[in-house]
């Protein structure tokens, strides 16, 4: 535990946290590039590219403008770095000579260009671009800010005509006629060639080692508007023929060619447990299409399922091949931590690195890895790991901040559920902790529900501890990290044993820690955690204050207003709206609103399309009409991701409202 003379963490410290992501080895393995993101004084974020030689202590900054620079990828010969930047106003591709000089803009696409990668021979760059059906990639023009504003003004004068079921997205807002297509850029001739044309979004996955095939994921079916499946496809660049590797019954992604070109590895599943289905690791033979599943005997989530509020930017999850096409490397989420794993093609699993922390990304060169690692007291740094070795720290981001503030080390706890299932969790002691003093406790409930609290830095949790609260956070049934049966166990039982798990956790904390004041208990959570907060305070009066964030209160309306409601309701509750509206009403906290006596703060973003703000409006009006103790804080221009990547001022204001409410009532 840190020295108590250090000051407590504040909400405003969010502005001073540097977030590293996306490590990428150079082609010779002597250095790596990465992205570093932090808040600006203009209420936004800037992301800069750094290069770090493994022979030197300090990374070298390569971009300096007030822009979001990201997705650095090296050419095979190491002479060039292509990256994505919005410095011109729209995300475009830029090319930088690694020996020095200014970056050169490659694309001027009207709606931007994204996620570039080099072909294996370095002659081509493959990227994604949002395009309308009639767009010509050879005649693209990047709009000025005045032109963009004029177009927005014109659009605002016209009605928005909706013809599709999938017409909005929390990430993208209302969806228009653009679709993500895959485009090829020839460096020598300076020409563009559109590779995909179907009326759907395409996700580039990889290019074959011989450069003859593009691997991409998409739903190419006529009924794609009604389906959530995503298949893997091979596009022959010579014949333009598309071959589908998968069977149309699942979701597949993170796909990679083996270096010998004979196989494709990917994550995927076929909805055996709907949205609670664990990823599998599949390998496809590119000649026969035969599929093998390497993860049949494993029982944990592949990839990174960790919940946090200080992770920005993409980072590799895997699977990644070794140079001999005999092993695969990937991240896995297990028991509140994520680690780096290795498997051979028979499914023999080996944990290369697994500790009580959060591996959020990696890059591999031969037998050397760059790992991005976060801990509960460190937002994240990069480490070098050799096979069978120990990680060596390479960066020291946030050193000045971390030396000046006190952060609480979590204490792990395990308790029994009502049916004797083991439930895991953690407790943070409050800042300035004194043995003979009583402290209020706040229960935090994560969203998802199929996600995982764990050993990562979480600013909100640390802030509550800094404000003098003991903080309890657990992984009740429905969480990742404890196997398929566990993550599936809350479906069709929302507010049942998941709620019981949470209450048992509070009981255990009260029995174990005599410094917790049982008369001063608070509860908060967002999304599913907001639903659970609403459910808890409508079914018990043991909590003296509650904050519900981006919540669900009424499943009847959620079905039609959420961007995922039309399938998520069925997935999680077992019923669609017209199948059994009374069952959905029984699952709705709004039904029990008259029972709420706990002072409730409702926090919501006005552009949240995942859990739309009408969910909070219904709850607020109902409680206020009954003259209950309730307050409603609305955040303009904020979506479901407010707490994780919303505007810095809004994120800080949100945290200040949460702590104000608990300070007032606890």
How much is the CA Rg of the chain, to the nearest whole Å?
25
Do 531 and 589 form a contact (C-beta atoms < 8 A)?
A: yes
Nearest to 340 by CA among 360, 366, 313: 360
- Confirm whether 527 is a catalytic residue: yes
Q: From CA 488, how far away is CA 483, in angstroms rounded?
A: 9
By the 8 A CB rule, do 471 and 461 touch? yes
Nearest-5° Cα angle at 395, 389 to 397:
140
The phi and psi torsions of 19 (rounded to 5 degrees) equal: -115, 115
CA neighbours within 13 Å on the CB side: how many for 121?
Answer: 9
- CA-nearest of 363, 354, 379 to 318 is 363
CA 81 to chain centre: 26
User: Which sign does the torsion angle of CA 101, 107, 110, 114 carry?
Assistant: negative
CA dihedral 304, 316, 319, 351 (to 10 degrees): -60
Q: Active site residue: 70, 450, 640, 643, which one? A: 640
* Alpha-helix runs per DSSP H in 61-215: 145-155
Q: Are strands 470-475 and 422-428 parallel, antiparallel or unpaired?
A: antiparallel
Q: Specify whether the CB–CB gap between 370 and 31 falls below 8 A.
A: no
545-549 and 600-605: which strand pairing?
A: parallel
Do 385 and 32 contact (CB within 8 A), yes or no? no
Rounded distance between C-alpha atoms, residue 421 and residue 497, angstroms: 10
For the question of residue 640 being annotated catalytic, the response is: yes
Sheet holding 179-186, edge to edge: 114-118, 124-131, 179-186, 191-194
The SS3 assignment for 88 reads coil
Q: 566-574: long-range contacts (C-beta < 8 A, 24 or more apart)?
A: 566/165, 567/228, 568/275, 570/274, 571/274, 571/275, 571/276, 571/491, 572/274, 572/275, 572/449, 572/490, 572/491, 572/492, 572/494, 573/491, 573/492, 573/494, 574/491, 574/492
Contacts of 578 by beta carbon, 8 Å cutoff, 6+ apart: none
Give the Cα separation of 276 and 495 in Å (integer).
Answer: 17
Residue 356 DSSP SS3: coil
* Gap between the Cα atoms of 465 and 428, Å rounded: 6
What's phi and psi for 466, nearest 5 deg?
-65, -25
Asked whether 367 and 386 are in contact (CB, 8 A), the reply is yes
Catalytic hit among 479, 527, 553, 588: 527
Positions marked active-site: 527, 640
């Amino acid at each position: 535990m840190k020295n108590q003379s250090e000051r407590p963490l504040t909400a405003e410290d969010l502005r001073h946290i540097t977030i590293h992501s996306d490590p990428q080895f150079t082609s010779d393995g002597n250095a790596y590039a990465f992205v570093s993101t932090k808040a600006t004084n203009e209420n936004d974020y800037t992301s800069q590219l750094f290069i770090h030689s493994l022979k030197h202590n300090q990374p070298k900054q390569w971009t300096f403008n007030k822009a979001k620079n990201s997705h650095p990828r090296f050419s095979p010969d190491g002479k060039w770095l292509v990256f994505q930047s919005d410095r011109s106003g729209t995300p475009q591709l830029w090319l930088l000579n690694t020996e020095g000089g200014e970056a050169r803009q490659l694309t001027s696409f009207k709606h931007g260009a994204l996620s570039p990668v080099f072909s294996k021979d370095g002659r081509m760059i493959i990227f994604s671009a949002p395009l309308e059906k009639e767009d010509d990639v050879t005649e693209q023009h990047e709009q000025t800010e005045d032109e963009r504003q004029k177009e927005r003004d014109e659009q605002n004068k016209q009605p928005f005509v909706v013809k599709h079921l999938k017409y909005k997205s929390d990430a993208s807002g209302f969806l228009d006629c653009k679709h993500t297509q895959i485009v090829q850029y020839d460096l020598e001739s300076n020409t563009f060639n559109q590779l995909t044309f179907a009326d759907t979004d395409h996700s580039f996955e990889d290019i074959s080692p011989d450069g003859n095939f593009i691997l991409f994921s998409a739903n190419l079916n006529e009924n794609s508007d009604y389906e959530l499946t995503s298949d893997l496809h091979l596009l022959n660049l010579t014949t333009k023929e598309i071959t589908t590797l998968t069977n149309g019954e699942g979701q597949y992604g993170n796909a990679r060619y083996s270096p010998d070109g004979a196989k494709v590895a990917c994550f995927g599943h076929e909805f055996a447990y709907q949205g609670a289905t664990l990823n599998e690791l599949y390998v496809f033979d590119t000649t026969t299409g035969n599929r093998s599943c390497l993860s049949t005997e494993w029982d944990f989530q592949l990839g990174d399922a960790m919940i946090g509020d200080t992770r920005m930017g993409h980072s590799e999850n895997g699977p990644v091949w070794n140079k001999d096409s005999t092993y695969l490397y990937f991240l896995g989420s297990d028991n509140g931590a994520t680690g780096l794993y290795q498997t051979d093609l028979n499914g023999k699993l080996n944990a290369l690195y697994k500790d009580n922390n959060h591996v959020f990304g990696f890059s591999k060169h031969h037998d050397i890895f760059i790992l991005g690692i976060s801990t509960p007291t460190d937002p994240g740094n990069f480490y070098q790991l050799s096979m069978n070795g120990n990680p060596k720290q390479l960066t020291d981001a946030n050193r000045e901040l971390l030396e000046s503030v006190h952060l609480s080390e979590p204490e792990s706890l395990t308790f029994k559920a009502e049916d004797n299932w083991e439930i895991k969790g953690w407790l943070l002691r409050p800042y300035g902790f004194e043995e003979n003093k009583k402290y209020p406790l706040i229960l935090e409930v994560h969203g998802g529900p199929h996600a995982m609290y764990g050993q990562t830095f979480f600013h909100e949790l640390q802030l509550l501890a800094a404000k003098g609260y003991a903080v309890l956070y657990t992984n009740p049934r429905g969480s990742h990290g404890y196997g398929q049966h566990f993550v599936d166990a809350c479906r069709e039982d929302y507010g049942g044993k998941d709620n019981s798990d949470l209450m048992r956790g509070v009981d255990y904390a009260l029995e174990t820690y005599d410094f917790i004041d049982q008369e001063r208990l608070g509860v908060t959570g967002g999304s599913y955690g907001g639903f659970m907060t609403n459910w808890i305070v409508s079914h018990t009066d043991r909590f003296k204050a509650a904050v519900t964030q981006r919540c669900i209160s009424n499943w009847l309306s959620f079905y039609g207003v959420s961007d995922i409601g039309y399938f998520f309701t069925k997935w999680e509750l077992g019923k669609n709206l017209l199948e059994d509206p009374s069952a959905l009403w029984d699952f709705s906290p709004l039904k029990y609103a008259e029972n709420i006596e706990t002072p409730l703060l409702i926090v919501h973003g006005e552009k949240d399309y995942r859990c739309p703000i009408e969910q909070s409006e219904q709850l607020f009006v109902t409680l206020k009409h009954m003259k209950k103790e309730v307050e409603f804080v609305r955040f303009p221009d904020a979506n479901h991701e407010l707490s994780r990547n919303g505007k810095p001022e809004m994120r800080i204001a949100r945290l200040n409202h949460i702590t104000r409410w608990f300070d007032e009532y606890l």
